Amino acid sequence: MELEFEVKHKDLLGRVGVLTVAGKRVTTPAFVPVINPLNQVIPASDMKKELGCEIVITNSFIIYKRLSERAAEGVHSIIGFDGVVMTDSGGYQVLEYGEVDVSPVEIARFQELIGSDIAVPLDKPTGLVGRKQAEKTVEQTLQNVRMTMKEVGRDSRCVWVAPIQGGVYTDLIERCVDEYKEMGFSMYCLGSPTPLMTTYKYEPLVGMISAARLRISFGKPLHLFGAGHPMLFSLAVALGCDLFDSASYALFALEDRYMLSDGTVRLEQLSTLPCSCKACQMTSVRELQTMPRGERFKLLSWHNLNVCFQELRQVRQAIWEGRLFELLEKRARAHPALYEAFQRLTLDESIASASAKLTPLSKKRGLFLYDRVSLRRPEVRRAMSLLENFEMSRKVSTNAVLIDFRVTTVKNQSKLLEKLSSLVGGEGFEIYTYGTPYGLVPFALSNVYPYSQTTFTSNLVKDVEKELLEKILETLRKKMFKRVLVVERGKDVYPGFTKVLARLLSERLDAEVLHVSLR
């Protein structure tokens, strides 16, 4: 069976796309609920009908052991879902119990028999282990996959995905990917993140995901096993994950834990239900706390599931608008460990380089910059690089006129240019704007995205004032102007900034510097 994947929109390493299998379409990034084939707390059919769920995952090993007499019905009939069904082969049981009593070939044949749309070969999850044990799990996984693909071949009725293992050892992850490339897989899945997530070790998770994503062709979708909390979705998507599965919606409900987009609270900690989903509308927090356990479990499961789908819709919207970084900034502050992971994402040069290549040159909305971390986003880095290249390629006049960035909003630009010309004395001059985190911006570029489409705080400019002033000084030195006019228009762009700029240039620039006012 063939798998098709079409990317519609991109931002950072995330993308909104359409995955097509057996004529059925899945919009990505997608949350893939885990369905217990023996006991569905929320029927898969209800997930599709009421939440728009297009893909689920179930455990073929459980069906093999407990429901094999129904195999001829097919997995879609067994779980009651006519969308895309993905089946795991028992890897979770291997992680929990060490082994399963079925061979890779047996479970592969069974997944074909029950008509899985997307199937996972039997792998050996790495988990959190030492280097030697990690190497063993990778070798066992690769051996199992080789056996499976030799048996099912390329004409399988399933789409087979490549299970990547290696844990926190990124070279082992890369080894898996390199071997799978030779086998021609059209989809990949990264295993073993759950032990990291349950212990709040999000920073090494960034390394794991990026090692896999940057090694795989960007035209291939990447599935992340076990990523079930919505506060992690924006991070995973920003790193290039397209799908993630989890049973967390039910597991958390069993412990009376109520999911939010930026965390989890226990039911007894709630004074109200801060959600408008179907489950929360039909009850109160007091009623939920006191109702019979079985009924409460179902309502909490439904709420948790709804939060997961709602967050994915928000992530897709952020990608479409070009604001995934801003959503990520918000979610990263949900927990110190998550913020640490976010910082690693922004500081990793390989991630930054790949993100810059994939992030669109222009977007539907402008940029919001809050602090120094915001300056690491790829659009800002690219804008800085464009300024350097633009300046190096231009012939420069003798005179430079520096005026604050608010000049870009002046309606009658011709009158403004006349006033500036009179100040210079009619000689040729170059105009630059100042006062933004970009430093000096040539007037010719001032309305090019994102220079005048950036909203930022005055505190950000104050915080990076020293670096900005040095950057302005360096730009002017390279151009070797003979005269520089620092122009004020009405109220100073930031209190004292223009005076400080003029004084610095007078002291350190080998040129005549004039501080003038344009009223």
Rounded-to-5 percentages of helix, strand, coil across the chain: 50, 20, 30
Q: What's the Cα-to-Cα distance from 226 to each of 18, 56, 247, rounded to whole Å?
A: 21, 13, 8
394 vs 490: CA distance, rounded Å: 31
Phi, psi for residue 260 in degrees, rounded to 5 = -130, 165
Contact 502, 515 (CB under 8 A): yes
The C-alpha angle 172, 178, 181, rounded to 5 degrees, equals: 145
148 vs 94: CA distance, rounded Å: 17
Does residue 123 have a known ligand-binding role? yes
Regarding beta strands 222-224 and 243-246, do their DSSP bridges make them parallel or antiparallel, or are they unpaired? parallel
Residues contacting residue 295 through CB under 8 Å, at least 6 positions apart: none
Contact 183, 162 (CB under 8 A): yes
Does residue 277 have a known ligand-binding role? yes
Burial status of residue 463 (CB atoms within 10 A of its CB: 0-12, 13-18, 19 or more): middle
Could you say which of 88, 117, 245, 256 is catalytic?
88
Instruction: Look up 88 and say whether it is catalytic.
Output: yes
Contact 340, 202 (CB under 8 A): yes
371 vs 378: CA distance, rounded Å: 15
Element (H, E) at 17: strand 14-21
Bond prior to 29 in cis (omega within 30° of 0): yes
If we measure between CA atoms, which residue out of 185, 175, 101, 186 comes closest to residue 149? 185
Binding-site entries = 123, 275, 277, 280
Enzyme catalytic residues: 88
- Binding-site residues for substrate sit at 123
Binding region for Zn(2+): 275, 277, 280
